[in-house]
């Protein structure tokens, strides 16, 4: 009997889950009829199963689930909008144009700040470096004698 | 809207012997948002139940489900049709739940709050059942949820897929990408642990 109990116990969970062939299921049922110990084991498994089922079914009932599609749709629509924006061809043609504009502004700004008269066409060799000192980690200072220009580099 | 991928619900839903063979390629396969809505509405309840069982928090579960459906929509082309759309979705939800845990994004407070308890009580109360008995049952359910959270995530996933979704061992193995033997082993150890944790609440323990 003990041997038979051990064999049945091994497949009791599969019986509980309905995962046994009908032939094996009949064997289990025949044993259960005459074994109170295995009946008790099965009853315990069934109780755990029903407790878990009841709890999960109860907990899974949430009205907000009905609004899930709206959330998904909003996300999908948002992504579509973003994708479409980056898909526009003019964005790509604008990038080099924007870079060129920034370069022009930077060069013009440098000359405006340095006071160099572009009409005269000043030679770069007329600008002498008064001092170039390392003022600490990542900082360099340049001073021009002619224009009283001081440039500070902060290097990262 | 028209530029979204279009694919028919009939193709996505149910068992498909190879979606790619049916012409769902990058060029021709386009899912339609209205059709996808039907799929979401069909599967949302089960996906939410799975996510909630895994995360034990309502808002986190909703967030994971939302993310899962968005991912499913985007990755529709990678769906090979070897399993049902539901099985594929379960896998996405489970992976997201695991990521959620790993990244520590889970809300600290579990969703089993007093409000829910009271709501449950009032509904049950209307049915004319003994309020004390109802309170006791709610407490047991709370303990069951706590016990589930104490299981390793692989065991918990197996138990939820089996008990709540009623999936066969074969289907669970597909979702979790493991063997049926592993599924049986995880179910067994998970149940043993639950038995140990819930012993004070089992009928035999309560009734002399």
Q: Going by DSSP bridges, is the β-strand pair A129-134/A139-144 parallel, antiparallel, or unpaired?
A: antiparallel
Residues in chain A within 8 Å Cβ distance of B121: none
Q: How far apart are CA B128 and CA B130, in angstroms?
A: 7
Answer positive or negative: Cα dihedral of A49, A52, A54, A60.
negative
Question: What is the Cα–Cα distance from A113 to A131, expressed in whole angstroms?
Answer: 19
pLDDT value, residue A2: 66
Q: Cα distance from A61 to chain B (closest Cα, Å)?
A: 8
Residue A103 has pLDDT above 90, yes or no: no
| Rounded-to-10 torsion of CA A62, A64, A65, A69 | 170
Q: Distance between CA atoms of B175 and B138, rounded to whole angstroms?
A: 31
- Please, which pLDDT band fits residue B160 given cuts at 50, 70 and 90? very high
Token pair 């700040």 is at which residue? A113
Prediction ipTM score: 0.73
Q: How far from B96 is each of A119, B69, B92, B106, B152, CA to CA, in Å? A: 66, 11, 6, 11, 16
Q: Which chain A residue's Cα is nearest to B188? A: A13
Distance CA A5, CA A12 (A): 10
- DSSP letter at B28 equals T
d(CA B137, CA A69): 32
Window from A87-96, B134-143, B144-153 with minimum mean pLDDT: A87-96
Residue B198 token pair: 């819930």
- A69 touches B at CB < 8 Å: yes
Out of A85-99, A104-118, A122-136, B117-131, pick the least confident.
Answer: B117-131
Interface probe for A, chosen from B158, B163, B184 (most Cβ of A below 10 Å), is: B163
pLDDT > 70: percent of chain B? 66
Record the pTM: 0.66
Q: Which two tokens stand for residue A17?
A: 């889950």
pLDDT at position B109 over 90: no
What pLDDT does residue A12 have? 94
Instruction: Determine which of A47, A56, A88 to mutate to test the interface with B (most B C-beta atoms within 10 Å).
Output: A56
For A43-59, how does the pLDDT look when each residue is reduced to its tens digit (9 = 90+)?
Answer: 999 999 999 998 888 87
Q: What is the pLDDT of residues B113-132, one digit of tens each?
A: 444 544 444 444 445 667 88
Cβ–Cβ of A68/B65 closer than 8 Å? yes
Residues in chain B closer than 8 A to A60 (CB atoms): 45, 48-49, 52-53, 164
- Comparing CA positions, the residue from B101, B120, B190 lying closest to residue A13 is B190
pLDDT given at position A80 = 63
Q: Chain B contacts of A40, Cβ < 8 Å?
A: 204
Asked if B48's CB is within 8 angstroms of A65's CB, the reply is yes
Report the C-alpha gap between B64 and B97 in whole angstroms.
7
| C-alpha neighbours within 13 Å on the C-beta side of residue B54 | 32
- The residues with which B30 forms a beta bridge, in sequence order, are B6
- Mean pLDDT throughout B160-177? 92
Q: Which pLDDT does position B86 carry in this prediction?
A: 82
What pLDDT score does B3 carry? Answer: 37
């Amino acid at each position: 009997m003990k041997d038979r109990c051990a064999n049945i116990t091994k497949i009791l969970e599969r019986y509980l889950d309905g995962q046994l062939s009908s032939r094996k299921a009949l064997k289990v049922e025949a044993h259960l009829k005459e074994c109170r110990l295995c009946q008790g084991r099965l009853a315990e498994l069934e109780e755990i199963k029903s407790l878990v089922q009841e709890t999960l079914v109860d907990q899974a009932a949430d009205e907000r689930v009905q609004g899930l599609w709206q959330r998904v749709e909003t996300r999908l629509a948002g992504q579509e909008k973003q994708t479409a924006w980056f898909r526009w061809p003019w964005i790509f043609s604008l990038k080099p144009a924007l870079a060129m504009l920034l370069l022009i502004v930077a060069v013009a700004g440098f000359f405006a700040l340095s006071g160099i008269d572009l009409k005269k066409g000043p030679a770069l060799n007329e600008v002498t470096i008064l001092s170039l000192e390392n003022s600490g980690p990542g900082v360099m200072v340049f001073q021009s004698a002619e224009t009283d220009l001081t440039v500070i580099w902060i290097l990262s | 809207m028209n530029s979204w991928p279009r694919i028919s619900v009939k193709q996505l839903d149910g068992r498909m012997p190879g979606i790619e063979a049916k012409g769902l390629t990058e060029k021709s396969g386009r899912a339609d948002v209205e059709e996808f809505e039907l799929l979401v509405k069909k599967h949302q309840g089960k996906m939410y139940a799975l996510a909630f069982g895994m995360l034990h928090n309502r808002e986190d579960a909703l967030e994971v489900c939302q993310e899962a459906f968005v991912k499913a929509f985007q990755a529709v082309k990678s769906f090979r049709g070897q399993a049902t759309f539901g099985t594929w979705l379960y896998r996405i939800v489970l992976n997201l739940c695991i990521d959620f845990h790993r990244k520590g994004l889970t809300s600290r407070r579990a969703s089993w709050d007093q409000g829910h308890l009271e709501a449950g009580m009032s509904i049950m109360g209307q049915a004319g059942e003994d309020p004390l008995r109802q309170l006791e049952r709610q407490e047991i359910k709370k303990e069951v949820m706590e016990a589930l959270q104490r299981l390793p995530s692989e065991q918990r996933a197996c138990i939820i897929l089996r008990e709540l979704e009623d999936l066969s061992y074969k289907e669970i193995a597909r979702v979790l990408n493991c063997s049926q033997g592993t599924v049986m082993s995880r179910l067994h150890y998970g149940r043993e642990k639950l038995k140990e944790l819930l012993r004070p609440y089992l009928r035999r323990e309560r009734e002399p």
